[in-house]
Amino acid sequence: MSEDLKPIASETTEIIEEQSANVSEVTAEEQPVKEETVDLNNKGLKELADFFQELLDGEDVQKLHKYAESIKAAFYKTLRKEKIAAGFQAPAADAAPSDAPAEAPAEAEAPAPEESAEAAPETVSVNPFAEIERGFKDLYNRYRSIRAEHTAEMEKQKEENYEKKLGLIEELKALLDKKDTLKDSFPVFRDIQSRWRAIGPVVQNKAKGLYESYQHQVEMFYDYVNLNNEFRDLDFRKNLEAKTALCEKAEALADEENVVEAFRELQKLHDEWKELGPVSKEYREEIWDRFRAATSAVNKKHQAYYESLKGDQQANLEAKTKLCEKVEAMLNLEIKDSNQWNKLTKEIEDIQKEWRSIGFASKKENQKIYDRFRAACDNFFTKKRLFYNEFKDQMQENMDKKIALCEQAEALKDSKDWKETSEKFIELQKQWKEIGPVSRKKSEQIWKRFRAACDEFFNNRDKEGGSQGSQYAANLAAKRALLEEVQAFELGEDRDENFTALKEFQSRWNAIGFVPFKEKAKLQSAFKKALDEKFDAARAGGASEGRGYRGRFSDAASRAGRRVLSERDKLVDAFKKKEQEIATWSNNMGFFSKTKNAEALLEELNRKIDIARQELADLENQIKEFDRQHAEDNEE
C-alpha cells in the first residue's frame, strides 16, 4: 500500500468502526420489548368495553389493531353467555321449543357492528343487553374509522418513503459523479445507507425495482472507490456476522411450533437480509446457501401445514355436506303426528351438536355450507311450527265434534228403548274413539261429560233389567229339572221311541229360554254330556238316525259353547289389558313431568289415555251387552 493511502485507510477504518458502533447502539436501543399478552377471555362486558376505550384513547395504533378483533370476538361470546344466563336467549345446545326453530349453529360469526348499526332502533330497548351492545358498536365503528385513517396514512407514508429512497439513489449517483476522495465520500455513503434503512417500507409493487436499483448503485460505489483490502475485509466481515446471525434466527424458526408465525418472522428476516451489504466472495455462496436452506425448511413446514389444513377443511366440508343432506331429506318426509315431530326434532338437535364439533371448511366454502345448513334447519322448524298451528286448529275441530257427541249422548241417556238406544250409544262411543285428540286442559273435562251420559243410560238399563233376573232364575230351575229328567231316563226296547224321546228332551231344552250367563256354560255342558250318553246307548244297535242327530247336536253345541267362552274371554282380557295400560301411563306421567320436553310427552300420554278410556268404556258396554244377548246367538 502506498504511503499516501495508509492514512486514508486507517482513518477510513476508524470511521467505519465508529459508524458501525453507532448503528449497533441504535439497533440495541430500538430493539422492541415483547409485550405481555392480555387475557380477554376472563373479562366481563364492561371490562372489555373499557379496555377497548383505553386503546382508542391511546396513541398506539398498532396495539389497537392487534387487539380490536379479539376484543370484538370476546365481547360477543361473553354477551351471548350473559344473555342466555339472563333468559334473553335460548342456548343452542338445549332443546328448542317444540313449535319454534332451534338455536342456530354456533359457527357463524357475530354480525359486524357497523352492519347492524344502521338497523338499530333510535329508542332505548327494554333489553339491557341491547344498550350494552349499542355502546360497543359505537366503539367498534370508531375503531374502523381510526383504522381506515391509519391505513390511508400508511399508504401515503409508503409513497413518501418511495420518493425519499429514489432521492437517496440519486444522491448515490451524484456521489459517484463527484469522484471525491475516500475520506470525504465514504461518510456520505454511510450516511446515505443509514438514512435508507431508517426510511421504512415502500409500496409493494415498487419495492423490487427500487431495491435492485439501490443495490446496483451500492456496488457501483464499492467498485468506484476501489477500497483497499483491509477496508473491504472489515466491511465484509461485519456483513458476514450480520448475515450469520440472520441464518441462526432462520434455522431456529424451523423448530417453532407455530408454523404460521414462523413463516411471518422469516419474511422479516428476508427484508433484513436485503438491507445488508455483500460479504467476501469466498463466503458469499456459502452464507447464502445456509440462509436459503433454513428458508426452505420453514417454507416446507408452512406448505405442509397448509396442505394438511386443506385436507382437513375438505373432510370438514364433506362431513357438513352430509349433515345438510340429512336435514334436507327430513324436509321431504310426510310427518303426521307430534311423535314424529318430537323424534325428528331430537335428531335435528343431535345433528346441530355434531355440526358444532366439526371444524371449518375452506374460506371459500365455509360460509356457503353454513348458509345451506342454516336454511335447511330453518325450513324444518318453520314446517314444524306450521304443523302445530294446524294441529291446534284440528284439536279445536275435534273438540267441537266431541261436544256434539256429548249432546247426542245427553239427549239419549233417558231413553227406555234399551236395545236400540244401546246400539246408538255403542255407535257414539265408536265415533268418539275415531276422533283425534283435543287440548290437554279440556280432555279430561269433555271425557267426563261424555262418560257421565253413557253411564247414566247403562246404569238405568241395568236397574230396569232386574225384572228379568227372576225369569232367568226360573229358566235355570227348569233346565236343571230337565237335566235330572234326562239323567234319570231309561231307554226302552224300541230304538225309534228312544230317539224320539231324546229329540223331545232337546226341543224342551231349547224352548226354556235364557239362564244367568255364569251358569249357562256349566249347565249346557252337563246337558250335552247326559244327552250324548243316552244317544250312545240308543245307537248301540247301530241306528244311523240316532248317530246323525247326536253328531249335529254335539258339534253345534260344542262350537257354540266354545265361541261364547272365547269371545267373552277375549273381551274381558282386552278390558283388563286396557286398564293396565292406563294405570302404567298415569304412573309414568309423574316421571315425565320432571324431564325436559315434558309438555310434548305429557300431551302424547294424555292423548293415549283418552283413547284408552274410550276403548275401555266400549269394551265394558260390549261385555254387558254380550251378557244380555249371548243366548240369542248360541242357544240354537
* DSSP-assigned letters across all residues of 127-182: SHHHHHHHHHHHHHHHHHHHHHHHHHHHHHHHHHHHHHHHHHHHHHHHHHHHT--H
Q: Cell for 151?
A: 391505513
Q: What is the 3-state secondary structure (H, E, C) of 72-95?
A: HHHHHHHHHHHHHHHCCCCCCCCC
Q: Cell for 22?
A: 453507532
- Asked if pLDDT for residue 391 goes beyond 60, the answer is yes
Distances in Å between the Cα of 231 and the Cα atoms of 9, 197, 273, 601 are 7, 22, 21, 93
| Percent of the chain at pLDDT exceeding 90 | 3
Q: Chain-wide mean pLDDT for the chain?
A: 75
- Asked if pLDDT for residue 8 goes beyond 50, the answer is no
Note the pLDDT tens digit of each residue in 572-610: 778 878 777 777 776 566 545 444 455 666 677 777 888
Least confident of 47-61, 435-449, 537-551: 537-551
> 230337565: which residue's cell?
482
Q: What distance, in Å, lies between the first and last C-alpha atoms of the chain?
A: 150
Rounded-to-integer distance, Cα 299 and Cα 254, Å = 9
Give the confidence band of 542 by pLDDT, cuts at 50, 70, 90: very low
Nearest Cα neighbor of 298 from 256, 335, 338 is: 256
pLDDT score recorded for residue 117: 40
Rounded-to-integer distance, Cα 320 and Cα 325, Å = 9
Note the pLDDT tens digit of each residue in 16-44: 444 443 333 333 333 444 455 777 877 88
Give the confidence band of 69 by pLDDT, cuts at 50, 70, 90: confident
Q: Which amino acid is at 102?
A: A
Note the pLDDT tens digit of each residue in 473-515: 777 888 888 888 888 888 877 878 888 888 888 888 887 776 7
Note the pLDDT tens digit of each residue in 236-272: 888 888 999 989 988 898 888 888 888 888 888 898 8
pLDDT score recorded for residue 282: 84
Rounded-to-integer distance, Cα 528 and Cα 506, Å = 9
- Asked if pLDDT for residue 539 goes beyond 70, the answer is yes
Rounded-to-integer distance, Cα 63 and Cα 35, Å = 10
Confirm if 447 and 613 have CB atoms less than 8 A apart: yes
pLDDT score recorded for residue 247: 92
Kindly give, in sequence order, each residue whose CB lies less than 8 Å from that of residue 275, ignoring residues fewer than 6 positions away: 196, 197
pLDDT: which is higher, 327 or 16: 327
What's this model's pTM, rounded to 2 decimal places?
0.31
Rounded-to-integer distance, Cα 491 and Cα 375, Å = 93
- Asked if pLDDT for residue 232 goes beyond 50, the answer is yes
